[in-house]
Structure 1
Amino acid sequence: MRRSYGKADRIVAISKGVASQLLEMKLARPGQISVIYNLCVNNEVHTAQKAPISDYQVPFERPLLVACGRLTEQKGYPYLLDAFRRVRDERQAELWILGEGDQRSTIESRIEELGLVENVSLLGFRNNPFKFMAAADVFVLSSLWEGFGNVIVEAMACGTPVVATDCPHGPGEIITHEKNGLLVPPADSDALSNALLRVLRDQSLKEQLTENGKERARDFHASKIGQQYLGLFREVVSQSKESPQTPVDRSN
């Protein structure tokens, strides 16, 4: 990374947090980094979210929470399960988790320990996660760390209110707390359960987060992100034409 990044005219970081980390690790120079968020939304997302869910019965009489991500330590699922147990202590609800990973057996054991076998479903990897996001009453991200957090934007685009951990890096750059989503500290089951219950109890808050979330998701549409990359490419090419060409040392 030090060799290749050092030769780059520009480095693109997918969040401001990642950019700061690159500077702290001395992998990039100030002025060498451009922050361009991930492309998360295109017209296919809006079509895919309308597809029917045929292999699972979507609960209509009780709230549905959906999470999406690999079954790994990073995603903080033990904290989510503890939080959901507290949600279940107050009201009937279901939690669907999309994704596969090396912690599946550990997560299954924790589901049994908490007595949530009837309420939590591990749905595995899905080619179309958007229809599940759209079916949810709340989308929840419990990650301990991220690079950005694409699923937050995808859920917003599907018209689902989002509760997410304010982990490094990304969620806090996507979500404005109380406006288009709710942020809670990572690894804090109590805060996570309180935020989830708050959205489930407060219909006006749910509607506010839904509408503002859809508006925020438009900032990450393919057309906008593509224009940002185009602008960056033009800037770099223009600068290279104005500067004398320096041979690149490829001896390493």
Structure 2
Amino acid sequence: MTESEQPPGQSQQWILQFCHGYDGPFLDCARQYAVLFKGTAYKVCTVYLTGAPSEKVVRGSASDEVLFLDYSSRDVRGLKLRAIRDIRRIAATRSFTACIAHRFKPVYVALLGTNLPVIGVHHAFGDYQRRSRQLFANYFRKRLALLGVSNAVRDDIRACLPSWPSERIETLYNRIDIEAVQAEQVSREVARDYLGLPQDAWVVGNVGRLHPDKDQATLIRGFALALPDLPAGSLLAIMGKGRLEASLKSLAVELGVAERVRFLGQISSGRNYFKAFDVFALTSDHEPFGMVLLEAMAASVPVICSECGGGAEVVQGTGELFPFAQPAALAHSLRALLPRAGDQLLVARRLRECFSDQAARERFWVLGWIAS
């Protein structure tokens, strides 16, 4: 039913979702927030600040309407006056109740370009460390509420905005469509064949940019320390690309494990192949959340994570945690997971109760920031 077809006196209510772009995990972030309104009186219009129009993105956004402003990153530097005019024009086309804006630039543009209440969703640490951003947020605090994707991100924002009431800075975890993700994940045999991994090897998996933040150096060192106690022929498989590839390969040579470490490169739809791993290890420095942990858990793969940031919140109670940048502790965790597969019923329950679309929907409406 279109807005013009609504019964008299029942105008359609809309939510404006404003995203910086749809690269990497951010397309699914748009989907996550659009489905919060499934089965409600609201329709969702999702606007992408950067990125060319794409039918794939339209389908993946799970929204009633998708618009592309098609700016480049260079275009939205500075005051972003054109973007402000564009979002003001869009806001005038519908009866919008509120705006959900992902990351700081869309929050900035939405507040200056509309009179709507804005819910800012923050996916990283440090978004409000700058004094100018603190002043900006304080100026608009009457119609701004903030969400962190983990308690760690939430607490970082609260520390930057100490005068704000805590109930205006809350957590809404990232999540996955569990059934959809599991339906796309191929079997262990098919995944290993696709990735070129031996069917009979014990494989430690890792997915992420080859970047200092992901600390794959600790991963390689910990694997090398544990290797004598792991099954013969064990492998470490790292999925991803980045500027540290050469130095990480050199480290593997230096430690004498080059033949045991496989650099798989960038794999399209990598989460579909997580069943290739016997263990999944994330060694990041202060990970804001760690979506790959949820995808590994959905594949019934035991997980290990560094004990910092939002990743520790995901793994707590269902996997192994180790102190960040401690190879010996990581090696201990690898040995500890070797003889057991983990409690999959416990993992499935945690996914469902904490990191599913339904769990997020229930949590979001309890906040009361938008009238149900």
TM-score bracket, normalised by the shorter chain, equals 0.7 to 0.9
1:26 CA displacement: 2.3
Residue of structure 2 in register with 1:69 after alignment: 208
The partner residue of 1:224 within 359, 363, 370 is 359
CA deviation after TM superposition for structure 1 residue 101, in Å = 1.6
Cα deviation, 1:122-181, whole Å, max 9, x if unaligned, reads: 1122222223321211111111211111111211111011111111x11222223xx411
CA distance in 2, matches of 1:213, 1:112: 36
SS of the equivalent of 1:212 reads: helix
Q: Give the aligned partner of residue 258 of structure 2.
A: 117
Query: Secondary structure of the equivalent of 2:258?
Result: coil
1:207 equivalent in alignment to 2:345: no
**Shift in CA distance, 56/148, structure 1 to aligned 2, threshold 3 Å:** closer
* Conserved? CA contact 2:280–2:302, under 8 Å: yes
RMSD over aligned Cα, in angstroms?
A: 2.2
Q: Report how many aligned residue pairs link the two structures.
A: 230
| Inter-CA distance 157–102: structure 2 relative to 1 (3 Å threshold) | same
Work out the CA distance in 2 between the residues paired with 1:174 and 1:28. 29
The 1-side partners of 2:135 and 2:229 are apart by 55
Q: Secondary structure at the match of 1:55?
A: helix
Q: Structure 1's 63 and 69: CA in aligned 2 closer, same or farther, altered over 3 A?
A: same
- 2:359 alignment partner, SS class: helix
Residue type of the partner of 1:57?
G
Structure 1 residue aligned with 2:182: 46
Contact conserved, 2:306 with 2:322, CA < 8 A, in 1?
Answer: yes
Please give the residue correspondences for 1:91-240 in structure 2 after superposition, counting only pairs within 5 Å.
91=230, 92=232, 93-167=234-308, 169-176=309-316, 179-200=317-338, 202-203=339-340, 206-208=341-343, 210-218=344-352, 219-232=354-367, 235-238=368-371
Distance 1:88 1:223, change over 3 A: same
Task: State the shift of 1:224 in Å.
Answer: 2.5
- Name the amino acid aligned to 2:209: R
Task: Quote the offset at 1:10 in angstroms.
Answer: 1.0
Distance 2:295 2:259 in 1: 27
Q: Kindly tell me: are residues 26 and 214 of structure 1, through their superposed partners in 2, closer, same or farther at Cα, counting changes over 3 Å?
A: same
- Mapped contact 2:134–2:160 kept (Cα < 8 A): no
- Change beyond 3 A, Cα 1:111–1:11: same
Q: Deviations over 1:185-244 (max 9, x none)?
A: 0010001001101111x23xx232x33222212221223324433554xx22449xxxxx
Shift of 1:82: 0.5
Q: Select the structure with the greater relative contact order (CA < 8 A; seq sep ≥ 6).
A: 1
Q: CA deviation at 1:32?
A: 1.4
Contiguous gaps of at least 5 residues in structure 2:
1-132
When the two structures are superposed, what TM-score results if normalisation uses the length of structure 1?
0.83
Write out the 4+ residue segments of structure 1 that deviate beyond 6 Å after TM superposition: none
Secondary structure, in 3 states, of the residue corresponding to 2:144? coil
Larger mean CA deviation between 76-85 and 90-99 belongs to 90-99
In 2, the alpha carbon distance for the partners of 1:130 and 1:238 equals 36
Contact 1:99 1:126 in 2 (8 A): yes
**Paired residue type of 1:174:** V
Aligned residue type for 1:48: E
Structure with a larger share of its residues in strand:
2
Residue identity (%): 25
Structure 1: 5+ residue stretches without partners: 240-252
Give the TM-score taking structure 2 as reference length.
0.57
Inter-partner Cα distance in structure 2 for 1:67 and 1:28: 40
Question: Per the alignment, do residues 170 and 101 of structure 1 end up closer, same or farther by CA in structure 2, a change over 3 Å counting?
Answer: same
Give the aligned residue type for 1:88: L
Query: Rg: which structure is higher?
Result: 2
